Amino acid sequence: MKIVGAALRNSVVDAIGDRRCVVTIGAYDGVHLGHRAVIAQVRARAGELGAASVVVTFDRHPASVVRPESAPKLLTDPAQKLELLESTGVDATLVVPFDAAASTEAPADFVRRVLVDALAVRGVIVGEDFHFGHKRGGNVALLREMSAQHDFEVVPLRLVARADGVDEPVSSTAIRRALAGGDVKRASAMLGRDHEVRGTVGKGDQRGRTIGFPTANVEVDPATCLPADGVYAARAVLPDGKRHDAAVNLGRRPTFHDRADHSLLEAHLLDFAGDLYGKQLRVSFVLFLRSERKFAGVDDLRAQLQHDVAHARAALQ
């Protein structure tokens, strides 16, 4: 069942009051520099019109419903995405439920239900290649067609170009591609911050303690986009907000023949002593140090870990 306009508006009424809205729409996974550029334009135009600035996004990535077998891994979990959107200074974020029924909704019906009925839209600002609705049938042309009838303006924006010389715009897809190659610096440049993942610290086999490098085994949601397997200089944030430099191993631990069916995230927090079991940890990847590899034995591994920690410490200074 689709949620009607009045119910949607009630979810943001405290932030927007009875004002009309200038909106942008999208999955907003990552809230990267391209997203932030669009939101900045939304806020500026809303200020000019005396309207509220609103981001319309969804409670899950639409691809997870439309094509679950090939849905992308997420750069931000739902809570992190909302935190990042709030940090842009936008007046409100409207999270629209997206399910099988919503995936078949005609684009024009979405405009009337969400933009017109829920938000009394005054302006829509989106990327020039924006598509929405059933089979991605909605676009800037449709928005312009409906704008005269419902009294709103449509502003398509050119996408933000990458600053690293690659001839393509900043996008969530480009960021995922950089992460897949372990290039967390390039991903960070497009995100405008270091790529962060979150998870609960679980009980490991405590091998790290026996060789002098205790690690927090961070259980990350399988839907999260992780960088390529390897060792990274990173930063970890504890639940109390304290930050610690860290050396992170992401991979299958081939030296111990664990043959894990997924990559494991083990974070060694520099100059830290304490119990993190059961606590939430946020890990940001700063620099790729080396690929994961198998060592002949524990002594060789310990020597390499000493080098990794020194390398991470120097990189994070």
Q: Is 20 part of a structural domain of the chain? A: yes
Is residue 259 pLDDT above 70, yes or no?
Answer: no
Residues 53, 132, 103, 91: what is their CA dihedral angle, to the nearest 10 degrees?
A: -10
Identify the CATH number of the domain in which residue 200 sits. 2.40.30.30
Write out pLDDT tens, residues 205-239.
655 555 678 999 999 999 999 999 999 999 999 99
Tell me the average pLDDT of the chain.
Answer: 93
Are both 143 and 246 inside the same structural domain? no
Instruction: Check: CB of residue 58 under 8 Å from CB of residue 76.
Output: no
Residues of the chain above pLDDT 90, percent: 83
DSSP three-state, residue 195:
strand
Q: Euclidean distance between the first and final Cα of the chain, in Å?
A: 53
Residues 106, 109, 113, 116: what is their CA dihedral angle, to the nearest 10 degrees?
A: 130
Write out pLDDT tens, residues 97-156.
999 999 999 999 999 999 999 999 999 999 999 999 999 999 999 999 999 999 999 999
Domains contained in the chain, number: 2
Cα 279 from chain centroid (whole Å): 21
Q: Is 41 part of a structural domain of the chain? A: yes
Q: Is 162 part of a structural domain of the chain? A: no
How large is the average pLDDT for residues 183-203?
Answer: 97
Quick one: pLDDT at residue 256? 56
Give residue 111's domain range.
5-157
Look at the alpha carbons of 6, 10, 12, 16 in this order and tell me if their dihedral is positive or negative. positive
Are both 152 and 202 inside the same structural domain? no
Global confidence as pTM: 0.92
Alpha carbons within 13 A on the beta-carbon side of 145: 9
Q: Is 264 part of a structural domain of the chain? A: yes
Q: Is 141 part of a structural domain of the chain? A: yes
